[in-house]
């Protein structure tokens, strides 16, 4: 049961995404039937599932929301800007309720009931009969059947093929008084055909329960059709093979019968027909058949079909939609299936596969090493075979990684909600522009991006964008723009969050940094360095802790979470033009291309993405700076030289730069540093094994890996080492100055 509930919540997430996409599409003017239907279906599915699990709050809210949407769908109310905004807010609240039902926690009852009222009001502006179920179900135009065409009556305007639902109308119902009449005792007999689909059971509904409810409505004669049940060998125990033909004599209206199936409407095939009772006085005299147009001419002014018959058609048509919808649904589903065949796989299984492929990569590189050690010629069959194996292994690895890759779209969508909320709170008018939503990134990366991105968006609106009047004064449009884009660039994904606000107020940032003791007064900083100060721990530019950005976390937390993902964050700001935050993230957290180096007898891996170049320092290029610091002159600029062995505590004394290799690395603020190592072994793809999960965090070490010879090597955290060096130097500098002053 828990597993089924889990699936329900997963599906809810999908439906909510669908809902939001649809609403945003409607907002941008796409009010075609498909979009509106998709939105309606999303809410309806959530309601259905929630009903099955007895999530009352969710059902109630979804129902109200659905009622309003239904009126939009049927064209009875027009989605104006106000209503769309209301629906977007309702979609947010629906998402909250889903999450509340799943995770517990706080629920904003006031907000829910307020939206509830607003939705009800929106649904009932001209006292539209929204509450009675049959009216609610009434499809578009059912009440005004247009072209006189006795049979079948087509539902007009259901334009796309898969939504076209012919409705069969019996002549018995149209002509004469006998058809569809109730029996003498007020009972009407209905013929019900009900065939569950596997989804019905998968959503924890049971046919027996539904049948029991039907039986409770009156005198039911239930016949089970077992003809489709296969032999045990071919049976899917969780499949759906049974169907039922029910003859129900009841005084209840047909709507009551349909209500029983309301929550499973999309998960079963269902027909409900009133059984006609023959009228003994009725005599059917066929008219001579005349071509329709001719007859219309003859009839002159009069309508082709009398109003009474039209009304009857409308009545029957209105009773048909559930059947029609089922038909539409069963038609639509194969179409969808053809477009995208997917299976749900437990993430654990994928991860196990990824782990195994990782082992395969390690094993393959071990094998290569053994072959090399055995002195087998490069061109021998064995070596060539191994090359092929390596190629294959890489392909397998890429394919496996692709399984975990997901488009960033959902997370971008979630941000549109953040934008709406923050814009409301701050009274600013904001437009969110997104680009590259289809860019794919590892699932874990995506999941862990939500918080940092939320915070960055909040900051961009709260601190970045000016107030509307200030914008107008500055000659900008009143509405601010926050832009989010994602793109693949050289094996990494680059996500940019930018605003067209005032840019960073550097004088103020510096002032605050000094006040908060982040930097010493009088320190000379470049513009870039000042901008970077906002990433410093404990830094917040807002003079008051605002409701929006100041929730106890600053940009330093954002930076740390990005770094924890193996990513980098940088900032660039132009006064008056706005600020751009750039995140550079690895596509996957499982492998990386690295340079294998030796330091003090240890083997280390330096991520290739950080490396700019490698060189052998010349004695003339190396200069001392202060007491211990050294710099190297390269192409006219001085770059700090960092001894990795010393920083990681492998050796006390600094290595001699002349006998070392310098690896030029670029850290997140594009500053370069040179890491000194003893030698380079080669370049290799390594499988990342988390140190945090298996041991604990270690300074300067991002993770570990297993090399081809079976040894464990640590993967260097370049940014941490560079930052560590900078603060060491700064401390030494301060100590020096204090000593000099004393």
Q: Note the residues at the interface with another protein (CB under 8 A).
A: 1, 4, 196, 201-202, 204, 206-208, 211-212, 215, 222-224, 226, 229-233, 235, 237-242, 244, 246
Token digits of residue 444 = 């874990």
DSSP structural state of residue 463? I
Cβ closest to another protein, residue 227 vs residue 693:
227
| Minimum distance, C-beta of residue 200 to another protein, in the bound complex (Å) | 9
Cβ closest to another protein, residue 95 vs residue 207:
207
DSSP structural state of residue 504? -
| Minimum distance, C-beta of residue 244 to another protein, in the bound complex (Å) | 6
Look at strands 602-607 and 712-716 and give their pairing.
parallel
Write out the E strands in 98-251.
Answer: 153-154, 166-167, 188-196, 219-225, 243-250
Cβ closest to another protein, residue 164 vs residue 241:
241
| Minimum distance, C-beta of residue 223 to another protein, in the bound complex (Å) | 5
Q: What are phi and psi of 688, to 5 degrees?
A: -80, 125
Q: Which residue has the tokens 């009772």?
A: 277
CA–CA separation, 513 and 556 (whole Å): 13
| Minimum distance, C-beta of residue 248 to another protein, in the bound complex (Å) | 12
| Minimum distance, C-beta of residue 231 to another protein, in the bound complex (Å) | 5
- 535 neighbors 583 (Cβ within 8 angstroms): no
Name the 3-class secondary structure at 486: strand
Cβ closest to another protein, residue 209 vs residue 623:
209
| Minimum distance, C-beta of residue 330 to another protein, in the bound complex (Å) | 19
CA–CA separation, 526 and 531 (whole Å): 9
Cβ closest to another protein, residue 226 vs residue 374:
226
| Minimum distance, C-beta of residue 345 to another protein, in the bound complex (Å) | 18
Radius of gyration, CA atoms only, the chain = 35
Cβ closest to another protein, residue 125 vs residue 230:
230
Residue in 142, 122, 20 with CA at minimum distance from that of residue 79:
122
| Minimum distance, C-beta of residue 265 to another protein, in the bound complex (Å) | 18
User: What contacts 201, CB < 8 A, 6 or more positions away?
Assistant: 207, 238, 240
Cβ closest to another protein, residue 148 vs residue 239:
239
Cβ closest to another protein, residue 135 vs residue 210:
210
CA distances from 332 to 162, 329, 337 (A): 6, 5, 9
Residue in 502, 496, 482, 484 with CA at minimum distance from that of residue 430:
482
Cβ closest to another protein, residue 206 vs residue 398:
206
| Minimum distance, C-beta of residue 103 to another protein, in the bound complex (Å) | 24
- 288 neighbors 210 (Cβ within 8 angstroms): no
| Minimum distance, C-beta of residue 10 to another protein, in the bound complex (Å) | 17
- 267 neighbors 240 (Cβ within 8 angstroms): no
Cβ closest to another protein, residue 215 vs residue 444:
215
Cβ closest to another protein, residue 197 vs residue 312:
197
Per-residue b/e over 610-635, b at no fewer than 16 CB within 10 Å? bbeebeebeeebbeeeeeebbbbebe
Cβ closest to another protein, residue 86 vs residue 246:
246
| Minimum distance, C-beta of residue 242 to another protein, in the bound complex (Å) | 6
Cβ closest to another protein, residue 200 vs residue 605:
200
User: What contacts 579, CB < 8 A, 6 or more positions away?
Assistant: 460, 464, 498, 499, 501, 503, 504, 571, 572, 573
| Minimum distance, C-beta of residue 11 to another protein, in the bound complex (Å) | 16
CA–CA separation, 430 and 437 (whole Å): 19
| Minimum distance, C-beta of residue 644 to another protein, in the bound complex (Å) | 56
User: What contacts 425, CB < 8 A, 6 or more positions away?
Assistant: 547, 548
| Minimum distance, C-beta of residue 53 to another protein, in the bound complex (Å) | 14
| Minimum distance, C-beta of residue 230 to another protein, in the bound complex (Å) | 6
Residue in 500, 507, 494, 513 with CA at minimum distance from that of residue 555:
513
Total number of residues shown for the chain: 742
Q: HSE on the CB side for 442, CA within 13 Å?
A: 22
Residue in 506, 512, 508, 511 with CA at minimum distance from that of residue 529:
506
Cβ closest to another protein, residue 186 vs residue 233:
233
CA–CA separation, 127 and 107 (whole Å): 31
Q: How many helical (H) and strand (E) elements, i.e. helices and strands, does the chain have? A: 24, 24
| Minimum distance, C-beta of residue 209 to another protein, in the bound complex (Å) | 8
Cβ closest to another protein, residue 244 vs residue 535:
244
Cβ closest to another protein, residue 225 vs residue 355:
225
- 446 neighbors 408 (Cβ within 8 angstroms): yes
DSSP codes of every residue in 619-681: GGGEEEETTTEEEEEETTEEEEEEEHHHHTTS-SSPPPGGGSEEEEEE-TTS-EEEEEESEEE
């Amino acid at each position: 049961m828990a597993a089924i509930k889990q699936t329900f919540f997963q599906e809810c997430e999908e439906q909510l995404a669908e809902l939001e996409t649809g609403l945003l599409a409607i907002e941008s003017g796409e009010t075609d039937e498909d979009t509106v239907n998709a939105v309606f279906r999303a809410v309806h599915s959530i309601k259905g599932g929630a009903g099955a699990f007895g999530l009352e709050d969710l059902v109630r809210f979804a129902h109200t929301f659905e009622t309003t949407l239904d009126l939009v769908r049927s064209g009875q109310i027009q989605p104006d800007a106000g209503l769309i905004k209301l629906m977007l807010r309702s979609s947010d609240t629906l998402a909250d309720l889903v999450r509340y039902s799943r995770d517990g926690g706080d629920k904003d009852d006031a907000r829910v009931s307020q939206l509830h009222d607003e939705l009800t009001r929106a649904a009932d502006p001209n006292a539209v009969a929204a509450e009675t179920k049959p009216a609610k179900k009434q499809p578009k135009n059912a009440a005004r059947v247009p072209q006189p065409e006795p049979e079948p009556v087509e539902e007009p305007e259901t334009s796309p093929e898969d939504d076209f639902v012919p409705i069969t109308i019996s002549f018995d119902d149209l002509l004469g008084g006998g058809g569809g009449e109730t029996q003498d005792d007020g009972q009407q007999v209905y013929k019900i055909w009900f065939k569950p689909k596997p989804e019905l059971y998968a959503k924890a509904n049971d046919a027996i329960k539904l049948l029991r409810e039907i039986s409770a409505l009156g005198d039911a004669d239930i016949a089970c059709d077992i003809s489709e049940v296969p032999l045990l060998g071919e049976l899917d125990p969780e499949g759906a093979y049974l169907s039922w033909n029910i003859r129900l004599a009841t005084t209840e209206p047909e709507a009551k019968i349909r209500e029983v199936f309301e929550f499973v409407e999309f998960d079963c095939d269902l027909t409900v027909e009133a059984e006609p009772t023959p009228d003994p006085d009725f005599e059917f005299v066929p008219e001579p058949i005349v071509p329709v147009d001719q007859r219309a001419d003859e009839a002159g002014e009069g309508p082709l079909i009398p109003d009474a018959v039209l009304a009857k058609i409308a009545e029957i048509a209105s009773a048909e939609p559930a059947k029609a919808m089922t038909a539409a649904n069963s038609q639509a589903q194969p179409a969808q299936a053809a477009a995208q065949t997917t299976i749900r796989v437990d993430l654990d299984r994928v991860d196990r596969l990824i782990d195994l492929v990782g082992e395969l990569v390690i094993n393959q590189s071990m094998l290569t090493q053994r072959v090399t050690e055995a002195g087998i010629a490069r061109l021998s069959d064995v070596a060539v075979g191994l090359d092929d194996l390596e190629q294959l292994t890489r392909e397998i690895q890429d394919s496996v990684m692709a399984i975990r890759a997901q488009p960033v779209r959902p997370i971008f969508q979630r941000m549109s909600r953040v934008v709406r909320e923050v814009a409301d709170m701050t009274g600013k008018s904001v437009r969110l522009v997104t680009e590259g939503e289809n860019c794919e990134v590892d699932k874990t990366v995506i999941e862990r991006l939500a918080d940092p991105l939320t915070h960055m968006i909040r900051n961009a609106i709260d601190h970045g964008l000016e107030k509307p009047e200030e914008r107008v004064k500055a000659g900008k449009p009143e509405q601010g723009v926050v832009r989010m884009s994602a793109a693949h660039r050289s094996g990494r994904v680059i996500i940019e969050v930018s605003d067209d606000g005032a840019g960073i107020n550097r004088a103020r940032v510096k002032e605050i940094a000094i006040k908060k003791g982040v930097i010493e007064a009088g320190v000379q900083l470049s513009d870039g360095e000042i901008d970077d100060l906002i990433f410093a721990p404990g830094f917040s530019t807002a003079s008051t802790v605002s409701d929006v950005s100041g929730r106890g976390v600053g940009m330093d937390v954002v930076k740390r979470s990005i770094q924890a993902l193996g990513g980098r964050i940088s900032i660039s700001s132009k006064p008056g033009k706005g600020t751009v935050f750039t995140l550079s993230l690895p596509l996957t957290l499982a492998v990386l291309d690295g340079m294998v180096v030796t330091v003090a007898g240890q083997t280390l891996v330096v991520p290739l993405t950080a490396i700019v170049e490698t060189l052998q320092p010349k004695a003339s290029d190396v200069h001392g700076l202060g007491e211990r610091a050294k710099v190297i002159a390269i192409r006219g600029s001085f770059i700090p030289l960092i001894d990795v062995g010393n920083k990681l505590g492998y050796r006390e004394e600094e290595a001699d730069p002349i006998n070392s290799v310098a690896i030029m690395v670029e850290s997140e603020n594009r500053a370069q540093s040179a890491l000194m190592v003893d030698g380079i072994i080669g370049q290799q793809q390594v499988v990342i094994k988390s140190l945090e999960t298996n041991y604990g965090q270690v300074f300067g070490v991002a993770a570990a890996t297993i090399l081809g010879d079976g040894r464990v090597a640590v993967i260097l955290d370049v940014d941490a080492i560079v930052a560590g060096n900078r603060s060491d130097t700064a401390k030494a500098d301060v100590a020096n100055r204090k000593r000099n002053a004393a």
